[in-house]
Every structure is written in C-alpha cells, then in structure tokens.
C-alpha cells in the first residue's frame, strides 16, 4: 500500500519535543526545512500500490536515511543503528519525539531501492539541486556551465585469479546441491581448499609451475562437479530452471581463455568489467564506468550515471548532459572536459577540451583551467561516500549506487555551506 505519513502534531504528556531541545541552527535541521518533503512523497508514492500489501514506511524516513547513509558512507546496518543514537538524524527524518527502537529492518532499504528504482533516485537528486538554488549555494546561471568526467566505480569483489574463480565456483555448486538435496559423488570440499592454499603458497614463493599445477587441479575438480550437475539438470526441467543461470556462468568460467573478451571475473557478480584507466598505482579496476556532471563553480553534482560495456568517454557525454538538464531543469550551454572526450560529436553545445588553450580568449582559458577541479571531488566521493566500492548487486545496483553517491556529495556540500553561513 501507499507509504505512511509521520504525524507528530499532537503532543505527548510526559515527553518533550526534539525541536524544543536541539539546536535550531544545526545544519541538518536547516536543511530539513529547505527540502520539499511533500513533493518527494507525492513523486515516490506512485511506485506503490493503492490497496495491496501493508502500508509502507514514510517516504521522508527512507529518503532521509538514504541521504544520511551516503553522506557518511555507511552500510545499511550502521546507518539504522546510528539513526537510533542521533536525535538530529531523527528530527531530520520527521520524528519530533525521541525514538528508542529501530525505525525499519535493515533489509527494508534494499527493497526500497529496488522499488523506487532509478527514476525515484533521480527525483531525490533533483531535490538536492533545488535546495542548493534555494539556499543560494549556486545561482541558476551556474547550471549553464558544467564539468564532465568519468571514473571507475569498483565492485565489491576480490582481485580475480583463475584459482579463486574455480574455488568459488566449486563452493557455489556444492552449496546449491546441498540446498536442493542433490547427491554428489564427491564435493571436493577439503581437496579444493588445500589446492587453493597451495596455489597461493607457490605463487608467493615464485614457484609458478607448481602454482599452475594446483590451479589446473582446481579446474579438474570444478569440471567434474559441473558436468555431474549439468547431466542431472538436463533430465530434470525444474532443476534446470533453478540452476540454469549458475551453470551458464560457471560453464563460461571453465571455457574462457586469457585473451578472450567479456570474461567472467566474479561468480556472484558476473557483469563486472575489467577497466584500465592508465593509473600507475592501479593498472586494472573491476566494476563499471561512472560519468559525473558537476557545476563549474561550486562542484554540485547534477548527474552521476553508471555505464556498462566500458564505453568511450565521448559516447557517454550526450546522455550525461541530458540527465543533468533533466535533474536541474536548466539547459547546459558550456561543457568543460578532458582529452578523453575528443570525437564526442556534440554540436548543439559548446564543448571545451583540455589542451585547446591557444585558440581561446583569456576568459575561457581561465574557465577551462578549472576543469581539473572535478578530480578532488571524485576523490571525496570515493573516500567519504560509496563511489570507491559498490556493494549493490547487478546492473541496477550500479546505477542506483552512482546516483546515491551524487546525492551524498550534494548533501555534504549543503551542510558545509549552511555550517559556514550560520556558524
């Protein structure tokens, strides 16, 4: 059913309101007054059915928790625990009396992310941009000049090696067989663990022949279990429906070679891509590419989109600018990018690329010089937010995490601005 609405207009006999106890000039409380919660409730309530199911939790509660979570870079469990301990967080989410119990179950945040999807997250991001305009953090004309860049949003996987992939595939298949009560001739539980340990041991000692021998042994164990389950799945349609996708992923792991494209790097996240950005300290990263659009002056995030397939930066520019215009409600006129965007084919906007200073006036040279201001902001989004490691599953998780990281960065900017303004 439609979400509830928190209503604390009626007082309580033996309790005092948080709004009477807490500092009214605290940045979080000032920000809570700027956000149009009624508009967010109206926009996000359309994702819920009118009559079916129990009433959902209040939109302001969940939206506020999302903002606080990505502002602080916390997990689902830690943000809910912190909410109970922090009265400012409670008042920010619309609770005017102190709460002693968890407001939601930890898993509710995961269900809400899936329910409201990419469209709902963009509504929240647009609300933060509107707040920045209302509080004079940026002017409307500042939305016309933007900086665009891409970065890698790593997935929550360990560095992939053949031995680890084989071992995790064995563990996954044996777990499925045990859950579905499928008898196996041999699980190789202890032998595979021993082979994985020896692979690491020999590789550390630079005995690569012995390490490769143990990796081949793991592949042999995996092949035996895989073929046994595959044969049983072919004769049982119900079993094939349950194991089909898992067997397909593991079959590709068994067949892939070093020079192949679109390889599998993780059993539980098969859509992860290997991306090389030319970094000296980190040659390869495993995740997906994220495109960011920031205002030229203050660095407010107008768009943060995840792109799969490791596209060329110039091909992501058109979609990034379109999303920024939708979120801000203002047309972008000038875009400042690095040399990776050469060949973008954008003709209806002015695109300034680094290195073209000789053909520009002093004014535009100065504007283009500020393009590199996006780099430390990306660093803050990775260090302070959750852009540095994405824990959400699948392609949808990538897209949602990218937008939420943009929301968290805007909330940090707004709080810092309000703190300096009213300190």
> Cα(190)–Cα(21) distance, rounded to whole angstroms?
60
Contacts of 15 (CB under 8 A, 6+ apart): 97, 98
Enumerate domains of the chain plus CATH numbers.
137-158+273-394 (3.30.420), 162-255 (no CATH)
Helix (H, G, I), strand (E, B) or coil at 411: helix
Q: Give per-residue pLDDT as tens, 253-302.
A: 999 998 898 899 999 999 999 998 877 888 899 999 999 999 999 999 99
Contacts of 327 (CB under 8 A, 6+ apart): 122, 125, 126, 129, 302, 303
Using alpha carbons only, give the angle 9, 11, 14 rounded to the nearest 5 degrees.
160
Residue in 187, 402, 154, 370 with CA at minimum distance from that of residue 279: 154
Are 215 and 204 spatial neighbours (Cβ–Cβ below 8 Å)? no
Helix (H, G, I), strand (E, B) or coil at 15: coil
Q: Which two tokens stand for residue 322?
A: 């379109």
Percent of the chain with pLDDT over 70: 99
Say what the pLDDT of residue 357 is. 60
> Cα(126)–Cα(120) distance, rounded to whole angstroms?
10
Q: Give per-residue pLDDT as tens, 60-75.
A: 999 999 999 999 999 9
Place of tokens 């490691």: 389
**Alpha helices by DSSP H, 135-236:** 162-179, 189-204, 208-234
> Cα(336)–Cα(294) distance, rounded to whole angstroms?
10
Mean pLDDT across 199-209: 96
Q: Give per-residue pLDDT as tens, 301-335.
A: 999 999 999 999 999 999 999 999 999 999 999 99
Give yes or no for residue 342 having a pLDDT over 80: yes
Q: Give per-residue pLDDT as tens, 174-188.
A: 999 999 999 999 999
Radius of gyration, CA atoms only, the chain? 25
Say what the pLDDT of residue 423 is. 65
Contacts of 40 (CB under 8 A, 6+ apart): 59, 60, 63, 123, 124, 127
3-state percent breakdown (helix, strand, coil) of the chain, nearest 5: 55, 10, 35
Strand partners, 289: 152, 307
């Amino acid at each position: 059913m439609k979400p509830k609405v928190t209503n604390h207009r009626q007082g309580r006999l033996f309790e005092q309101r948080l709004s009477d106890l807490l500092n009214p000039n605290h940045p979080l409380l000032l920000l809570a007054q700027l956000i149009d919660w009624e508009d967010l409730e109206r926009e996000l309530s359309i994702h819920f059915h009118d009559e079916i199911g129990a009433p959902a939790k209040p939109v302001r509660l969940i939206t506020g928790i999302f903002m606080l979570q990505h502002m602080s870079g916390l997990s689902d469990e830690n943000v809910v625990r912190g909410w109970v301990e922090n009265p400012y967080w409670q008042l920010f989410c619309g609770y005017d009396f102190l709460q002693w119990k968890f407001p939601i179950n930890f898993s509710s945040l995961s269900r809400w992310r899936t329910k409201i999807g990419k469209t709902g997250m963009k509504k929240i991001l647009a609300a933060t941009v509107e707040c920045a305009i209302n509080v004079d953090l940026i002017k409307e004309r500042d939305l016309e000049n933007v900086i665009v860049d891409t970065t890698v949003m790593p997935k929550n996987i360990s560095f992939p090696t053949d031995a680890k992939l084989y071992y995790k595939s064995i563990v996954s298949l044996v777990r499925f067989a045990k859950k579905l009560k499928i008898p196996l001739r041999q699980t190789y539980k202890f032998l595979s663990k021993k082979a994985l340990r020896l692979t690491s041991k020999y590789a550390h000692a630079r005995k690569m022949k012995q390490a490769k021998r143990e990796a081949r042994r793991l592949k042999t164990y995996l092949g035996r279990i895989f073929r046994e389950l595959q044969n049983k799945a072919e004769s049982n349609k119900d079993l094939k429906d349950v194991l089909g996708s898992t067997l397909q992923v593991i079959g590709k792991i068994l067949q892939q070679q070093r020079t192949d494209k679109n390889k599998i790097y993780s059993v539980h996240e098969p859509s992860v891509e290997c991306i090389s950005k030319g970094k000296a300290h980190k040659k390869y990263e495993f995740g997906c590419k994220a495109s960011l659009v920031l205002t030229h002056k203050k660095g407010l995030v107008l768009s943060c989109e995840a792109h799969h397939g490791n596209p060329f930066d110039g091909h992501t520019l058109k979609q990034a600018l379109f999303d920024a215009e939708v979120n801000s409600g203002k047309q972008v006129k000038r875009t400042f990018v690095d040399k990776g965007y050469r060949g973008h084919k954008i003709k209806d906007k002015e695109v300034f690329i680094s290195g073209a200073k000789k053909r520009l006036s002093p004014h535009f040279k100065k504007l283009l010089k500020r393009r590199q201001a996006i780099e430390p902001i990306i660093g803050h989004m990775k260090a302070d937010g959750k852009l540095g490691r994405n824990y959400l599953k699948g392609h949808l998780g990538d897209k949602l995490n990218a937008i939420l990281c943009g929301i968290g960065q805007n909330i940090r900017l707004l709080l810092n601005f309000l703190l300096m303004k009213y300190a």
